[in-house]
A and B are shown apart, each in its own frame.
Chain A
């Protein structure tokens, strides 16, 4: 019996020019695990939103066709009526939490539907035991890593015991080990006989968990594989569909997990980093802050006495979540004032605020670093000599010239990222830092970013990119720098072909 039925469904978001779904017909049986894949903007998320009712009740637009989910006619069902039937894990852990503490988040759903406190507590205990969450109970959401947040999000959905579970790009912000845990949760749900629909770009972790894979292109179901066919797809076929790889190479997995043997290779020419120590634990002080030293050992979140970084190359910065990758980037570019590290390049030493001038970081959420009202002025803001010709050149090289007068916030995510990169180029920084630039991007966008990073390094900049993305490393990184507990474990040439 079909639990989800989409009959000839077309949908167009209010204010958009094209339909995001066109004549979709889809039946999902009870207990099936279905993967939706395809490029960004192909309509994966819209299908998820149809099943949980956010379309048409929250995101409005023109909807045609019939949608039935577990005997509810979605068009006539209020959203809250679906709460115990359909559960959704969203992409961004930052914005799906209602509570500020983990316990409160898990019980939030059951409280909303008015269950007895005794029943809620029993459910919470079950969920906590099932997902091994004991260690992160009673914590503030803001202190959790991305992976931990996503597990709490899964738990808060599971506490409502829905029969249908939807996951919208759940792995976007997760490292390798957290993805493994997520996989475990999905397999457990599958074992319990839940119907699962996952929209995802990263495919390797799902290959032996899914029963059906739907390929969506321009709002249409373009292709369907069953689980076995999907796991056997050849590399070329996967590439032809512009999908991310289904199988990962062992060597890459090791690299991305920071599991390689410790060794630091010598490179020439190189940029020398000296005395990078930093800790988030504040020490009481009266007038002068005490400097951190190597001997502070375990107190430090970053502990790098000296490191030579190959100049003019793309360096992938890897390691598990919470191991100090972002801290390293922040200290390097001088955002953490307490870190007194020096950068020596071409015989010149850069300290303190000078580091801010020679480094430029493109943040993970580029929305935070776009300030002005047009793409052009965004680049001009960074250009020291305000040369309009140079500005046009930069925009042209990134394919942004036609958007010159557009407001940055009106652009798509990928375009915004390129605007941020354009202002990085304009700032003339020697070292360009990227904080997980490809999390949540589909294959072709990821390829574009990889291509850009390569170009940047060819034009002389040293590019350091922190990432959990094995594909990005194999596409563009010359070297891999492995961090663990704030220490450099290895720096070696990438295993890419």
Chain B
């Protein structure tokens, strides 16, 4: 299923908004859960079964723990660790997984075109695009550095936590700075940052799926807010 980047951005916004407001009644929980299910279903349609399953497991466990084993009166170290874990998973994971889905399925060209349609200034759009472009690069660099550390037997930094972080971060920062510098030189020689208004080959059009999803998301948010604050 091909969604418009605008729908995706709206989805990130709605999911983060709803999961951050605390659900107090079973009905509110139902709305919240159905909104959380959307990115999972989308991941499945993109054939990312493993990530969908992993997320589902983590989220499900956190929910079960919250409802059946933890309460406001829970005490002790394990309980407080669990509350921390569940809180983070239940509150942040849905938004994270949505963002991850969006980054994975949106091409830079689509994203730029979307930004233009929304009349976001080129400067901001380009910076955001570079950030998107940099995620996979950082991942690639990081895994090479990790390999090098394994080979040299310094994965644990000789037992020194600071060294462990230092050994990873220093080479990573150096290579990211280098790549960033070369990248912007290459982009500028191809006319980035000129006065001409950027055009875009990608033509975006909202489809049926987009309208349906946006309507659903809007409705869910409105109902959620109404039942939480007005009734």
A interface with B by C-beta (< 8 Å): 52-54, 58, 78-84, 86-88, 90, 92, 94-101, 103-104, 107-117, 120-121, 124, 142, 156-157, 160, 330, 333, 335, 356-357, 359-361, 363, 365, 367-372, 381-382, 409, 423, 427
Contacts and interface: CB of A to CB of B under 8 A. Distances in A.
Contacts of A356: 150-151, 153
Contacts of B175: 365, 367-368
A277 to B, nearest CB: 20
A335 B147 CA distance: 7
Nearest to A81: B194
Interface stretch (B37-45, B69-77, B136-144): B136-144
B119 interface: no
Given A80-B188, A157-B190, 14 more contacts: A54-B189, A78-B194, A82-B189, A94-B179, A95-B182, A98-B108, A100-B108, A104-B109, A108-B187, A114-B197, A117-B199, A117-B203, A368-B141, A371-B148
Contact of A371 (B147, B149, B183, B194): B149
A361 B151 contact: yes
Interface in B164-221: 166-167, 170-171, 174-175, 178-179, 182-183, 185-201, 203
A53 B189 CA distance: 8
Contacts of A156: 190
A97 B183 CA distance: 7
A368 B144 CA distance: 7
Nearest to B196: A114
Label chain B's interface by main secondary structure.
helix
Contacts of A101: 107-109
A78 B174 CA distance: 29
Interface centre among B108, B178, B203 (most CB of A within 10 A): B108
B148 A368 contact: yes
A334 B194 CA distance: 49
B191 A160 contact: yes
A267 B163 CA distance: 44
Given A58-B185, A98-B108, A142-B136, A335 B191 contact: no
The size bracket of the interface on B is 35 or more
B144 to A, nearest CB: 4
Contacts of B193: 79-80, 112
B152 interface: yes
Given A114-B197, A116-B199, A371-B170, A98 B151 contact: no
A396 to B, nearest CB: 22
Contacts of A82: 189
Nearest to A407: B170
Nearest to A84: B191
Interface of B: 107-109, 112, 129-130, 132-133, 136-137, 140-141, 144-145, 147-154, 166-167, 170-171, 174-175, 178-179, 182-183, 185-201, 203
Nearest to B149: A371
A329 B191 CA distance: 40
A367 B177 CA distance: 12
A108 to B, nearest CB: 6
Nearest to B180: A95
30 contacts: A54-B188, A80-B195, A84-B191, A90-B185, A94-B179, A98-B130, A98-B183, A98-B187, A100-B132, A101-B107, A104-B107, A109-B191, A111-B112, A112-B190, A112-B191, A113-B194, A113-B196, A115-B199, A121-B201, A157-B190, A333-B151, A363-B147, A367-B171, A368-B141, A368-B144, A369-B145, A369-B171, A371-B148, A381-B152, A409-B170
B191 A371 contact: no
A90 B184 CA distance: 12
A417 B69 CA distance: 56
Contacts of A95: 178-179, 182-183, 186
A104 B198 contact: no
B151 A88 contact: no
A117 B186 contact: no
A90 B194 CA distance: 21
